Structures are given as C-alpha cells and as structure tokens.
C-alpha cells in the first residue's frame, strides 16, 4: 500500500541512514557553503556528518516538523532525492518511524537488528 504524498518539511525520513557514509559529497558540492563542522572525511571522500543515526544537519522545527539547517546549500545527493519518488517511498516505509520519534522530540531510536531463529535444543 503506497504511503501518502510526502511533504519534505514535515518528514525527514531520508535524513536517517545506517552508516557514517550515508550522504556523499560530489565535486560540485565543494563550492557550496556547507559548514566544515557538518562534514566528515573518509579515505579522501567527504560525507555529511551523521549523529544519532541521522544527518547532523537535521533539526526539529515548529510543531512536528523536521528541517535541514543547510537546505538551500544541501549536497547534490540530497537535491536528487525527490519527494514522492520510488526512493522516497521506500525510505519513508523503512525509516518513517525513526523520523516520527525525532519530530515528536524523543530520542532517535535505532531499530534492533533482527535476531536469528535458532533451532531448539532437545
């Protein structure tokens, strides 16, 4: 069942990632005025810094909203992520619960990894 049409200002699900190399910066991003504290580097490649499982530039806005501190200067990878796209809907399906908790002011919770089902020992 498809999720409702997203509104990027009230969502934030796409800002949640499973690792520190979630949002890679491309050469064209180096000219953007992204604060150095918002970045991290690994093996000579720059990435947006992650914090508590989400981009560190994600912040809570008024009401139950999630805002990007650098939206006007956001990286190419973020600009390419279009509201309502296939990727958006998959991300919303998988990470909306994290975004909802974040927007509501609670701590972002990381989902527990699935536990393997072990055979019963007789």
Span of 24-33, 52-61, 87-96, 102-111 with lowest mean pLDDT: 102-111
SS3 74: coil
Tell me what pLDDT residue 109 has.
Answer: 43
Predicted TM-score (pTM) of the model is 0.77
Tell me what pLDDT residue 107 has.
Answer: 56
**Which whole number is the average pLDDT over 110-117?**
42
- pLDDT at position 62 over 50: yes
Tell me what pLDDT residue 81 has.
Answer: 87
SS3 44: coil
């Amino acid at each position: 069942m498809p999720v409702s049409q997203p509104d990027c200002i009230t969502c934030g699900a796409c800002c949640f990632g499973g690792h520190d190399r979630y949002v890679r910066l491309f050469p064209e991003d180096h000219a953007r005025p992204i604060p150095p504290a918002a970045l991290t580097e690994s093996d000579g490649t720059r990435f947006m810094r992650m914090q508590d499982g989400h981009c560190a530039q994600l912040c809570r806005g008024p009401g139950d909203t999630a805002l990007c501190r650098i939206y006007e200067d956001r990286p190419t990878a973020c600009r390419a992520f279009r509201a309502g796209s296939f990727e958006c809907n998959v991300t919303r399906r998988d990470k909306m619960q994290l975004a909802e908790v974040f927007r509501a002011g609670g701590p972002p919770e990381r989902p527990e990894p699935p536990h393997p089902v072990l055979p019963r020992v007789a």
